[in-house]
Amino acid sequence: RSLQLEERKPSQQIAQRRVRKRRRLRKVRRRVRKSREEEERKQHVQRRRLSSSSDDNSEDESMSEGEMARLKEEVEEKKKLIATLRNKPWRMKRRLKCLKEAQAFVEKFEGALGKGKGRRLYAFKVMMTKKIIKFNRDFENFKTACIPWESRIKEVESHFGSSVASYFIFLRWMYGLNLVLFGFVFGLVVIPEVLMGMPYGSLARKTVPREEQDSAMDFSVLFEFGGYCKYSIMFYGYYNNQRSIGLLQFRLPLSYLLVGVGIFGYSLMVVIRTMARNANEGGDGAEEGTFTFCWKLFTSWDYLIGNPETADNKFASTTTSFKESIVDEQENLKDENIHLRRFLRILANLLILCCLGGSGYLIYYVVKRSQGFAKKDRNELTWLQKNEVEIVMSLLGLVCPPLFEVIAELEDYHPRIALKWQLARIFALFLGNLYTFLFALFDEVNSKLENEKEIKNATIWALKEYYTNYTLYNNVTENIPPPNISPADVIRGPCWETEVGIEFVKLTVSDIQVTYLTILIGDFLRAVIVRFLNYCWCWDLEAGFPSYAEFDISGNVLGLIFNQGMIWMGAFYAPGLVGINVLRLLSSMYYQCWAVMACNVPHERVFKASRSNNFYMGLLLLVLFLSLMPVIYSIMTLPPSFDCGPFSGKDKMYDVIMETIEKDLPPFMADIFSYASNPGLIIPAVLLMVLAIYYLNAVSKAYQNANLDLKRKMQMQRDEEKNRRNNKDSTNQVMKDLEDLMPNKSLIPPPSAEETEIPADQLRKSPKVTGKPGAAATGKGVHVQKDVSLAAANPRAPVTRPPGPRPPGPLPGNARGPPPGQGMGRGRGGPPPRR
Amino acid sequence: MGSTNSTLLKIPNVEVLMQETGFSPAHIIRLHDRFKALDKEGRGHLCPHDFGAIKELAMNPIGDRIIGAFFSPGKETVDFHTFVKILAHFRPVDKDRPKEPNSPEPINSRSNKLKFAFQLYDQDKDGKISRDELLQVLRAMLGMQVTDEQLESIADRTIQEADLDRDDTISFEEFRKACKHKRFTMFRFCIRPGERKLMLTLCHWSSELQDQHEL
C-alpha cells in the first residue's frame, strides 16, 4: 500500500504560492480531468464487454484463487483512487504521480482478472511475452554460436588464462580484418581482371618469357614464386593498363590504385574505431574492485552445467581466475624498498637501451657492409658474406628477447605490465629488422629502375630499327603493321613492382614456415620428448630442465603484427598476398589452438588481460603507419614500369586519378579538385583539425578527471560506511551505554563498568550475534576490547586507499590504541562528522 | 482438466501448499511428477542418494550441500511438502504481484533466497560463514590446483572484503551486502513443459542467463 501515505496538507505553502501557481494548476487539472475521462470511458467499455461475453476459461491458470481475489480487490481500490483523486488535498505533482501509477496498474492487471475480452487479450499477451522471451533467448544463442571459434577460445582461456586468450582474440580480429581486405582486393581487382581482362599469353606481361619457359613449371622455380607464378594475377605485373575493360567499362587501373590506397584507409579506420570502442568499454563497474573475491567465491560456479567436460573447463577457469586475482592482489600488497626498486628499474631500462642501441648499430654496420659487398661480383663472395645480414638479424631475434626477459626480472613489474614492456622492446628490435629489409628493397628497386631505363631505351631503339627496316625493305612509310613477335620473345623490363611483390610473398611464406616449424619442433617435439623420455631418464624432465613450453604471448603477438605490416606493404604489389594471409590466419587459428592445448603448460603467474587489448592495437597502428609510408612514397614518386602493371606508360601512378578527373568527370569537378588541392586550402584545414584535436583532447582529459574524482568519492563513501558501522557498533554504543549508566556524565568508567556493559552491548550490537551461542560464552571481554581498540585506531579522515589485508599478528589497534577509558570517551563523545 | 484434478486431489493439503509457496496447480503437478520420477522405489519420500540422479548437482562442487539443504537436521528423508517448499526458493521473484501488507514474506523473496544460499556456505548454522567454512568451499571448488597457502590467502581476502564489523566472519548481513551489486538471478527454478524436467539452477549471477529458464 504505497498509496496510503500520510496526508500532508501544505496549506501554508499553498497560500504563499497560490498566486504564482494558479495558472499552472489549472493546466494540470485540465490534464488530469482529461485522463480521468479517458479512464472512465475505458471502464465503461470494460463493463460492456463483461456483459457480452463472460465464458472464457483459459488454460493458462497461473494464479491461485486467493491471489486472484487479492488482485481484484487491489484493482478496485486503484480505480476508486482514480475516481476520488480530485478531492485529495495533495500537491499537484503527487496527484499526477499517483494517477499515473494507478492507471498503469489497472491497465496491467485488469486483463488478468477474467473480464471478458480483456482476459483473452491478457492470455494472448502473456503468451506473446513468453514467445518473445524464448525467441530472444534463441536469438542470443544463435548470435553466440555465430561468433567463430568462441568455444575454442573459451577453452584456451579456461586453461591458460585471459592473457593467452587475448592473443587468440587478437588473431580472430585480424582474421576478420583480412577477410574484408581480401574481399576488396579480390572483388574489385583480381576477379574483374580474370573475367574481363585479356587472357594469359595475349600480352608480353602475361606470358612467361621464352628463355624461362622450360623451367617455368619446376617446383623449385614455383616455390620461389618464379615461372608461371610470377606471370599470374598474384602479382602487379600481370595487370593490363587498358583504361577500361569488359562490357561494364570497368576502370581497372583506377580501381587498382583506389583499392591499394583503400586498404590502408579501411585498416586505419577499423583499427582506430576498435581502439576507441575498447577505450570506452573499460569505464564501467566502479564497484568491481571491492568484492572481487566474494563474487568469485560465491558466484563463479555455473549451476546449469551438466556435462562433465564443461564442468572440467569450468573448474579450470575458476581456478585460473582465482590465480589471476591472486597475482593482482600480490601486486597490490607488495611493499618493498621503493628506492631500490626504482634504481633497479632505471638500471634495467639502461641495460635494455644499451642492448637496443648496440643491436641497432650492428644492423646499421652490417647493412653498410653488405652494400659494399653488393658492388663486388657475387661469385667472389663467400656464403657468409652473402647472408651476413640475414644471419645477424635472426641471431639478434633469437638472443635479444630472452635477454630482455632476463633483464626485466630486475624490474619486478606485474606480469601484465611486464608483457607490455617486453612487447615494446621487442617491437623496437623488430623495427631494425624492418628497416634493413626496406633498405635492401629500395636499393634493389633503384638499381632495377636504372636497369629498366636502359631496357626501355633499347626497346625504343629496336622498334625504331624495325620501322626503318620495314620502310627500307617494303618501301612503305605508312600503315606499317606492328612487329610480329610472339609475346614470349618481347624484350621486357625487370618490372620492379613484381619483384617487390615477390619479395613480400616470399617473406610471408617463409615466416609461415618458420612459425609452424617452431611450433612443431619447439613445442610439440619437446612435449613428446619430455612426456615419453621421462620414463627412462635420470632426472625429472617434466619438472626439471626442459619441461614443457609456455605459450610465448609477446613473440606471437609481435609476429602477427609484423606479418600484418608485411601484408599491408605487399598487398599493393602482390594482390594475391592477401589471400595467402587469410589462409595463414585461418590455419594458424586451428594449429595454434591445438598446439597450445596439446603441448603447452599455463604460465607460472597467470595474469588477467582484458579481452580487448588496446596495447596490441596501438602497436598495430604504429606498424600500419610505418607500412603506409613506403607504399605511398612509391605511389607518389617512383615511376611505374613501362611495360607491366596497370600503370604502365604513365609518369606516376597517381596519374590515373588525374586522367579520370579530366576525362570522366564533368569539368567543374576538375575545378573543385584543383581548388581543393591548393595549399592555401589544405593548410587551414590541417590547422583546423589540429585545433579540434586539441580541444577534444582537453575535454576528454576533463572527463577523465571527473571520473576519477567520482570513483574516489565512491570509495571514500564505502570506507566511511565501514568505519561508521564499526564505530557505531562498538564504541558509540558502548559510550552511550556508559552515559546512560552514569547520571553525572563524568565518563570515568569504574573498573567494573566494563563488565556490566558487556551484555547490553552484545544485545544491542546486532541481532545476528545473539543467535550465536558459542561466541558469547568465549572471550566476551576480549571481543569488546578488540572492537573498541580497533575503533580507536580508525582514523577519522576518509581513507582513500583500500585497506590491505590484516597482518597475522596482533591487531594494530591493540598495541598503540588508548585503553578504553576516559580520554577516549571524550574524544568519541560527539557524533562523527558526516556529510 | 480431469487428470489435473485427480492428481491434485491425491496430494494432501494442496491448497495450503499453494498458498505458502505461490506455485500454481500446474506447477504442483509437474513437481509431483518430478518427485515421483526421482523417487524410484516409490516410498513417497526421497533420500539423499535419490538426488544423485540429477546431473547438474553431481557436477557441482557444492552439490552435496544443496542436497543437504533439502533435509532438515536429523532427518534422512524428505516428503513432497518439504520438497516443494524448498524448491519454492527457486521461483523467480514476483515483481508485479501486489503484496499483502501483513502476510509473511514469500519464500521466493530476495532475502530468503540469499538466506538459502548463505546457509549452503554456513555449515555449522551459527549465522556466520567462518574462515574454515570458506576454506572447505574453496577446496571443493579449486581442488588440488592451488596451494594451501593460496587458498588461505583467498579466504582471508574474501573475508576482508565482505567483513564490515571485523569479526573475521561473514554474517548474513555482510553476505547480502557483498552480493547486492551483482545481478541477482539466483535460484532459477525450471520445469520445462516439454521435457518435464526439474533443474536446480542456483545462484548464477551472470547476465547471460538473465532471462534464461524463466518459467
**pLDDT digit string, tens, across residues A101-157:** 888 877 777 766 655 566 777 788 888 988 998 888 888 878 878 888 888 888 888
Question: B93 near B110, Cβ under 8 Å?
Answer: yes
CB contact under 8 A, A318 and B206: no
Q: Do residues B28 and B41 both lie within one domain? A: yes
pTM for the whole thing? 0.67
pLDDT-based confidence at residue B204 (cuts at 50, 70, 90): very low
Q: Which residues of A touch B201 (CB under 8 A)?
A: 303-304
Contacts of B182 in chain A (CB under 8 A): 295, 299
pLDDT of residue B202: 34
The average pLDDT across A577-583 equals: 95
pLDDT at A345 over 70: yes
Q: Which residues from A are below 8 Å from B202, CB to CB?
A: 303
Q: What is the pLDDT averaged over residues A56-61? A: 38
C-alpha cell at B96: 508485479
DSSP, res A170: H
The better pLDDT of the pair A536, A757 is held by: A536
pLDDT of A396 over the 60 cut: yes
Grouping H, G, I as helix, E, B as strand and the rest as coil, residue A398 is helix
Is residue B61 domain-shared with residue B82, that is, in the same domain? Answer: yes
Q: At what angle do helices A308-333 and B131-142 cross, to 10 degrees?
A: 130
Cα-based distances in Å from A785 to A771, A810, B14: 21, 13, 54
Q: In this complex, do A294 and B179 lie within 8 Å of one another by their Cβ atoms? A: yes
Residue A437: pLDDT band by 50, 70, 90 thresholds? confident
| Inter-chain touch A62–B209, beta carbons under 8 Å | no
B102 or A159, greater pLDDT: A159
What's the average model confidence in pLDDT over A86-92?
79
Q: Tell me the average pLDDT across B24-51.
A: 76
Structure confidence at residue B145 as a pLDDT band (50, 70, 90): low
Is residue B193 pLDDT above 50, yes or no? no
Using a pLDDT cut of 90, give the percent of chain A over it: 17
Q: What is the model's pLDDT at position B182?
A: 53
Q: Is the CB of A61 less than 8 angstroms away from the CB of B134?
A: no
Domain shared by B123 and B171, yes or no: yes
Burial letters A345-381, b for 16+ CB under 10 A, else e: beebbebbeebbeebbeebeebbeebeebeeeeeeee
Domain identity same for B129 and B75? no
| Among the listed residues A358, A451, A446, the one whose alpha carbon sits nearest the alpha carbon of residue A400 | A358
The CA-based dihedral angle spanning residues B84, B90, B93, B94, taken in that order and rounded to the nearest 10 degrees: -30
Whether residues B77 and B46 share a domain: the answer is yes
Query: In the predicted model, what is the mean pLDDT of chain B?
Result: 67
Q: Across the interface, do B211 and A136 touch by the CB < 8 Å criterion?
A: yes
Give the phi and the psi of residue B197 in degrees, each rounded to 5: -120, 140
Give me chain A's average pLDDT, please. 75
Helix (H) / strand (E) element for B197: namely strand B197-201
Entry field: residues in chain B: 215
CATH of the domain at B55: 1.10.238.10
Higher pLDDT, A277 or A16: A277
The predicted-structure confidence for A166-221, as pLDDT tens digits, reads as follows 899 999 999 999 999 999 999 999 999 999 888 888 888 888 888 888 888 888 88
pLDDT at A698 over 90: yes
Interchain pair A297, B200: CB under 8 A: no
**Banded pLDDT at B181 (limits 50, 70, 90):** low
* Residue B148, domain member (yes or no): yes
For an interface test with A, give the residue of B60, B130, B171 to mutate (most A CBs within 10 A). Answer: B60
What pLDDT sits at residue A80? 82
Residues B189 and B128 in one domain: yes
A195, exposed or middle or buried, with CB in 10 Å at 0-12, 13-18, 19+? Answer: exposed
Checking if the pLDDT of A768 tops 70, the result is: no
- Name the band, by pLDDT with cuts 50, 70 and 90, for residue A304: low
Tell whether the model's pLDDT for residue B168 goes beyond 90: no
- B41 within some domain: yes
Which residue carries 488454460 as its cell? A59
Cβ A155 vs Cβ A145: under 8 Å: no
Q: How close, in Å, is residue B19 to chain A by CA atoms?
A: 8
Is the CB of A293 less than 8 angstroms away from the CB of B161?
yes
Evaluate whether residue B102 is within a structural domain.
no
Is position B104 within any domain? no
In total, the C-beta contacts within 8 angstroms joining chain A to chain B are 158
Q: Which pLDDT belongs to residue A608?
A: 67
Judgement on whether residues B208 and B195 belong to the same structural domain of the protein? no
What are the chain A neighbours of B117 within 8 Å (beta carbons)? 298
Query: Residue A490: pLDDT above 90?
Result: no
**Domain assignment present for B66:** yes
Q: How far is B80 from chain A (nearest CA, A)?
A: 19
Sign of the CA dihedral running A308, A309, A314, A320: positive
Residue A568: its pLDDT value, please? 93
Compare CB distances from A295 to B62, B182, B199 and report the shortest one's residue.
B182
**Is B100 contained in some domain?**
no
Residues B10 and B85 in one domain: yes
- What span, in angstroms and rounded, lies between the C-alpha atoms of A59 and B28? 15
A549-550 and B188-192 beta bridge pairing: unpaired
Residue A301 touches partner B, C-beta closer than 8 Å = yes
The more confident residue out of A278 and A703 is A703
Q: Which pLDDT score, from 0 to 100, does residue A689 have?
A: 96
Ranges A59-68, A375-384, A674-683: which has the least confidence:
A59-68
Q: Are residues B187 and B208 in the same domain?
A: no
Residue B51 included in any domain = yes
- What confidence category does residue A538 fall into, taking pLDDT thresholds of 50, 70 and 90? confident
Are B72 and B126 members of one domain?
Answer: no
- The whole-number pLDDT of residue A702 equals 96
Task: Compute the average pLDDT of residues B139-159.
Answer: 76
For residue B52, the enclosing domain spans 2-93+202-214
- HSE (CB half, 13 Å, CA atoms) of A418? 23
Regarding whether B87 and B121 lie in a shared domain, the answer is: no
Do residues A554 and A426 lie in contact, with contact meaning Cβ atoms separated by under 8 Å?
Answer: yes
Which residues between 260 and 299 in chain A have a beta carbon less than 8 angstroms from any beta carbon of chain B? 287, 290-295, 297-299
Alpha-carbon dihedral sign for residues A166, A168, A172, A178:
positive
Which residues touch A364 (CB under 8 Å, ≥6 apart)? none
Asked if B45 contacts B39 with a C-beta cutoff of 8 angstroms, the reply is yes
A304 to chain B, closest Cα gap in Å: 6
Are residues B117 and A790, on separate chains, in Cβ contact within 8 Å?
no
In a domain, B121, yes or no: yes
Predicted pLDDT of residue A576: 92
Asked whether residue B131 falls in the same domain as residue B173, the answer is yes
Q: Based on the structure, what is the number of domains in chain B? A: 2
Residue with cell 551459527: B126
For an interface test with B, which of A2, A60, A297 has the most B Cβ atoms less than 10 Å from its Cβ?
A297
